[in-house]
């Protein structure tokens, strides 16, 4: 298991729904932002079908406010909404063009997203279709598209090799310490009332326990988040 200690100059987190990044890697984003990294959080959908909402317009407005609040809690520098409809994300050329434009504009050293190969989490949950579509689209955008000029030449100059940290993975190979940041991660998650209100009572305990469990997996005693690190090489 690789210990990821570097604080990147610029990191781009791309997730499907307004609360995904906080759940998947909120501790890491808070840590990096606090240590001077320029953190950009891009959210692909409006989250307009989340929870039990029956008014998509009102829900997407509410979730935008919550997303901005969570971003302030974590200390991220930019929050970008691509505003696709919830549940309708597809790994299209048009979507990859927008992702490549983000990568070539902000020029991050590392991109964080969800692992699209993680499908079945035991018998409790299987991965949301938007998460799978998003994860593959981000990987396809990192390599080859963002690196090779012939892809989307109008989207800016190609980037160098990017590191990708895949969160919500079943095959972690890398960990990042988030000691002392669980409270901030929970506070950012709490901002997402529309989606997570029903878990408010157990959030502190569950998030802290998962973070300690992650640290124990790598022989540590504090708190951690786990990732699968891949590089868009070749």
Alpha-carbon separation of residue 199 from 41, 43, 74, 107, 207 (angstroms): 23, 22, 20, 36, 11
C-alpha angle 145/149/153, rounded to 5°?
95
**Residue 127 CB, nearest approach to Zn ion (Å):** 9
The residue of the chain with the least Cβ separation from Zn ion equals 17
Q: How far is the CB of 128 from Zn ion (least distance, A)?
A: 5
Whether omega before 127 lies within 30 degrees of 0, making that bond cis, reads no
63 binds Zn ion (CB under 5 A): no
Q: How many of the chain's residues bind Zn ion (CB under 5 A)?
A: 3
- Of the candidate spans 18-26, 67-75, 175-183, 188-196, the one that interacts with Zn ion by CB under 5 A turns out to be 18-26
Q: Are 19 and 198 in contact (CB under 8 A)?
A: no
Q: Which is nearer to Zn ion, 86 or 140 (CB)?
A: 86
Looking from the CA of 179 toward its CB, the CA atoms found within 13 Å total 7
For Zn ion, the closer of residues 142 and 167 by Cβ is: 167
x/- track of binding to Zn ion for residues 212-231 (CB under 5 A): --------------------
Q: Is residue 132 a contact residue for Zn ion (CB under 5 A)?
A: no
Which of residues 4, 20, 31, 95 is near Zn ion by CB under 5 A? 20
Residue 46 CB, nearest approach to Zn ion (Å):
12
CB atoms inside a 10 Å sphere around CB 145: 24
Residue 158 DSSP label: P
Residue span binding Zn ion (CB under 5 A) among the ranges 10-18, 86-94, 185-193, 211-219 = 10-18
Instruction: Give the residue, chosen from 8, 12, 13, 17, that forms a contact with Zn ion under the rule CB under 5 A.
Output: 17
Within 20-137, strands assigned E span: 38-45, 78-84, 110-114, 120-121, 125-126
Going across the sheet that includes 174-177, the strands are: 2-3, 174-177, 224-231, 163-167, 110-114, 10-15, 38-45, 78-84
CB of 20 to Zn ion, least distance (A): 4
Pick the piece of the chain touching Zn ion (CB under 5 A) from 17-25, 34-42, 51-59, 182-190: 17-25
Burial of 16 (0-12, 13-18, 19+ CB in 10 A): buried
User: Which window, 8-16, 142-150, 186-194, 208-216, contacts Zn ion (CB under 5 A)?
Assistant: 8-16
Does residue 192 belong to the site contacting Zn ion (CB under 5 A)? no
Length of the chain: 234
Instruction: Please tell me whether residue 185 binds Zn ion under the rule CB under 5 A.
Output: no
Local structure of residue 3 (DSSP, 8 states) = E
Kindly list the residues in this chain that would bind Zn ion in the complex (CB under 5 A): 16-17, 20
């Amino acid at each position: 298991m690789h210990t990821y200690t570097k604080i990147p100059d610029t990191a781009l987190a791309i997730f499907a729904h307004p609360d995904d990044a906080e759940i998947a890697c909120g501790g890491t984003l808070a840590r990096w932002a606090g240590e001077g990294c320029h953190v950009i959080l891009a959210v692909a959908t409006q989250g307009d079908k989340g929870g039990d909402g029956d008014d998509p317009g009102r829900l997407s407005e509410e979730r935008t406010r919550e997303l901005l609040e969570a971003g302030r809690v974590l200390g991220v520098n930019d929050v970008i909404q691509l505003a696709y409809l919830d549940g309708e994300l597809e790994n299209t050329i048009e979507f990859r063009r927008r992702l490549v434009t983000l990568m070539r504009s902000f020029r991050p050293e590392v991109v964080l997203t969800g692992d699209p190969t993680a499908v079945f989490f035991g018998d409790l949950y299987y991965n949301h279709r938007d998460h799978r579509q998003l994860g593959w689209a981000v990987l396809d955008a990192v390599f080859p598209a963002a690196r090779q000029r012939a892809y989307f030449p109008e989207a800016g100059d190609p980037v160098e090799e990017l590191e990708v940290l895949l969160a919500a993975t079943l095959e972690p190979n890398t960990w990042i310490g988030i000691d002392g940041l669980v409270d901030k991660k929970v506070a950012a998650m709490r901002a997402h009332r529309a989606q997570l209100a029903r878990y408010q009572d157990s959030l502190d305990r569950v998030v802290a326990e998962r973070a300690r469990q992650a640290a124990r997996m790598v022989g540590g005693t504090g708190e951690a988040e786990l990732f699968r690190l891949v590089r868009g090489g070749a």
